[in-house]
Every structure is written in C-alpha cells, then in structure tokens.
DNA sequence: TCCTAGTGGTACAGACCTGTCTCATTCCTA
DNA sequence: TAGGAATGAGACAGGTCTGTACCACTAGGA
C-alpha cells in the first residue's frame, strides 16, 4: 500500500511553498492550516511553534540545495572545474523558473533582522554550509584562494537572485553567468587566455 | 531664530532609523510615535498611512544614495573610471560602518514580496535609478557594455551588502572590492594586462 | 485678550495573529 | 471487532497592529 502523506508532511509541503512564494511573516498559521486541510490542533501537535515550522522549512530548502550540489558533483566526477560551472548553470536555470522568488535563506535573514532570532541564525547557517561546499570544490579545482572565490560567488549569486526576483528579464541571468565566469577564470590555473 | 524641527520631520527621522535598523514590518506605528515623542493624531495628520511613511523613508534613502554618487562624480571630474572605483570604495566604507544593516531597498523588496505593493514598486524604482547612474558613468569610462557592467556591479553589490550585514568580517569587503575590480577591468579599454 | 492651527494624550474599534482547549470522528492495528 | 492514536472542526484567549475619535493644551497673530 502506498504510504499516505501524514499531516506533518502535508503541513511542511504547503508551508514551504507559501513561505517561499509570499514570505514567512506574511503567511499566517491559519492560512497554512486552511490550505493544507489540517486542523489547528494537528498543526500544534506536530510543530511546537511557528518558528519550529520555519526551521523545518529552512532545513528542507537546505537539503534541496546541498543535494543539488551533490548531483552536480556526480555529473562531472573528478572534474572540479566543470563542477563549478555546473553549479553556476544550475543557479541560472533556477532563476529562470516561473515560480522563482529569490533565495529562501536571504529572504528569511531579511524578514528576521534580529541576529539573535533562531530563524535568522538557521538561515545564516544554511548559507555557510553552501559556501563551504563551493569552497571545497574550488580548492579541488586548484583555485588560488578557494575561500575568496567561494565568498565572491556567494555575493554575486545573492545579488543575482534578488535581481532575478525583481526583474524577470533573462538578460540578467546571462550577465550573472558571464560575471561568475570572470571570477572563476581569474582564480583557476590559467589556460593561457592572452594567446589567440 | 533657528527653525524648530516639525512633527513631520521628527517622525521621518526617527522612522528612517528604526525602519533601517529593525525592519519596516517589525517596527509599528506605536513605536515610532513613542520614540519621536509625537501624538498619534499628529502622525496621521502628516502621513495618511504607514505605507506613505515607508514611501517617504525610501525617498529619503534614495536621495542619500544619489547624492553620494553625485559627490563621487564631483570628486573626480572628467575621470569616469576613477568615479567607478570611487563608488565601489564608498560602498565598502558603508559596509564597514557599525550600524550597517544591508541595502534598505532590498530589505523592503523582501519584506513586501507582492510586486504590486506600492512599497515594493518604489524600492525597485530606487534601485533602477541607481543602476542607471552607474551605467552612465560606465559608458563615459568607455566600458564595452555599460549596461552589462552596471547590472553586474548591482548584483555583486547587492549580495555583498547581504553578506556584510550577516557577517561583520571585514574580509568580505576586501573580496567584494577585488571582485568589483575584476568586473570593471574586464570591461574598460584594457591597459595591457598581459604584458608584465 | 481672543482665536485658531497645530499638537499631545489617550481611549477605542476592528482586524489579524499565535497558541490553547474541547469534543467528535476516523483510521490503523492488535 | 474493539481500542487507542491521530485527526478534523472550531471556539476562545491574549496580544499586536493600524487607523479613528475626542478632548485639553499651547503658541502666535489679529
């Protein structure tokens, strides 16, 4: 028999969509309850507070991101340079999706400006983990300063996500790709680009 | 006689600080009223709604940004390339200020995800104006594709602001400067960088 | 001195939000 | 089939937020 979706799973799935599309603060518990067809009591049996649900949402998005990076690594085994470009390409295609609404972690960071807030800290942690993964690949690819490259790509991608979110023109994704390429090429052991 | 600060001016000054430091949604009218020592009635006599106050706040910040760019232009007259670097340096020093809390426009964009919302649209407009200014300077500096460079710098700076806001390490501001330099150099008529 | 515009103080309405509680029902398993 | 765990429906409390209404005060000009 096919396992039916539990109330908890349904809540998390619906909340994840709503939080991402409309913002965490803008979406209330009542809305989540209504759209997931769950009773309020069931909600609070599965999640102690709304913040706990937000934590689960962040965790879900983080797993998605990390497994996306993992998939890219497996696609180009032992070719870390290609892995880097693959990650950038994956970001580009994300930005072009219709439901794209920026980086969920940045959004939560801005929605909860208090750096002591648990959601703020969790979102920050997610970004750190991603950066660490990229730095690792950059190191394997022979980047001169892998941490610097990872930090620079993180900045560029953060801003690009905001741009892609507020301006649907695909031009920006191309500009993003070109800029990322420049940053990567400046760090990788040069294929001699001056000779041509 | 020195003109006393009117209630309206006091409200906008206090609100501007609070909105930037703690977020627009997180700061309520009551808080603004209390901290600016104004009566609630006086508030609503000067601003029809909270959204109108947010609009005034965005406008104030936009004036600051644009006049900052203007000042940089006047500092290096007829040297558009230096103007570009000057703008980047100004961003870096902003990021290093203690009260730095990211880009006010990006923050509003994220806090009001509905693209039809007036605050969302106003914030977007502010960013467009800044980008246009930078594109103009890039064109004067002889950039191959001024609009591309302006868009790329906009992305980089947006992400850098988020990074600087969540991570106070000054390292990131250096990485930002280096990355911006790379993007600019790739666009400006080359001082021959292959010969050395 | 009087009058008026701007202001301060505060109570209040109406909406929304989070979280608790009660009770009936359903579903899975033993 | 019987019992227990999970669920659905919804009322309710307590808080916060925006915006309105009412009244008293003050300062400055006629």
Question: Mind listing the pLDDT tens digit for each residue in B129-184?
Answer: 999 999 999 999 999 999 999 999 999 999 999 999 998 888 999 999 999 999 99
Residues 6+ apart with CB under 8 A from B81: B141, B142, B184, B188
Q: For strand D, is any atom closer than 7 Å to the CB of A35?
A: no
Dist. CA B4–CA B172, nearest whole Å: 42
Q: What is the pLDDT of residues A50-97, one digit of tens each?
A: 999 999 999 999 999 999 999 999 999 999 999 999 999 999 999 999
* B146 contacts B139 by C-beta, under 8 angstroms: yes
Tell me what pLDDT residue B138 has.
98
Size of interface A-B (CB pairs under 8 A): 120
CA distances from A126 to A59, A120, B114 (A): 8, 10, 25
* A104 contacts A61 by C-beta, under 8 angstroms: yes
User: Is the pLDDT confidence value at B2 over 80?
Assistant: no
* B130 contacts B69 by C-beta, under 8 angstroms: yes
Q: Which band of pLDDT confidence, cut at 50, 70 and 90, is reported for residue B1?
A: very low
Q: Which band of pLDDT confidence, cut at 50, 70 and 90, is reported for residue A191?
A: low
Do B1-47 and B50-185 come out as alike in CATH topology?
no
Sequence spans of domains, chain B? 1-47, 50-185
Domain spanning A50-185 has what CATH number? 1.10.357.10
Tell me what pLDDT residue A1 has.
32
* A21 contacts A99 by C-beta, under 8 angstroms: yes
| Superfamily name with CATH number, domain A1-47 | Homeodomain-like (1.10.10.60)
* A109 to B156: CB separation less than 8 angstroms, yes or no: no
* A114 to B179: CB separation less than 8 angstroms, yes or no: no
Report which of residues 3-32 in chain A place their beta carbon less than 7 angstroms from any atom of strand D: 6-8
Distance A172 CA to C26 C1' (A): 52
């Amino acid at each position: 028999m096919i396992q039916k979706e539990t109330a908890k799973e349904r809540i998390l799935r619906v909340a994840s969509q709503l939080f991402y599309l409309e913002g965490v603060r803008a979406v209330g518990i009542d809305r989540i309850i209504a759209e997931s067809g769950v009773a309020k009591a069931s909600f609070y049996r599965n999640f102690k507070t709304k913040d706990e649900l937000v934590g689960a949402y962040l965790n879900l998005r983080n797993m998605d991101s990390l497994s996306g990076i993992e998939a890219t690594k497996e696609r180009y085994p032992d070719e870390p340079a290609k892995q880097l470009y693959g990650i950038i390409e994956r970001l580009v295609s994300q930005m072009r999706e219709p439901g794209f609404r920026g980086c969920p972690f940045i959004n939560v960071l801005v929605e909860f400006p208090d750096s002591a807030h648990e959601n703020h800290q969790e979102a920050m942690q997610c970004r750190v983990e991603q950066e660490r993964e990229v730095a690792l690949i950059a190191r394997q690819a022979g980047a001169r300063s892998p941490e610097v490259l990872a930090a620079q790509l993180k900045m560029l991608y953060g801003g690009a996500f905001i741009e892609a979110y507020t301006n649907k023109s695909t031009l920006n994704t191309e500009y993003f790709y070109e800029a990322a390429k420049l940053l990567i090429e400046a760090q990788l052991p040069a294929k001699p680009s001056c000779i041509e």
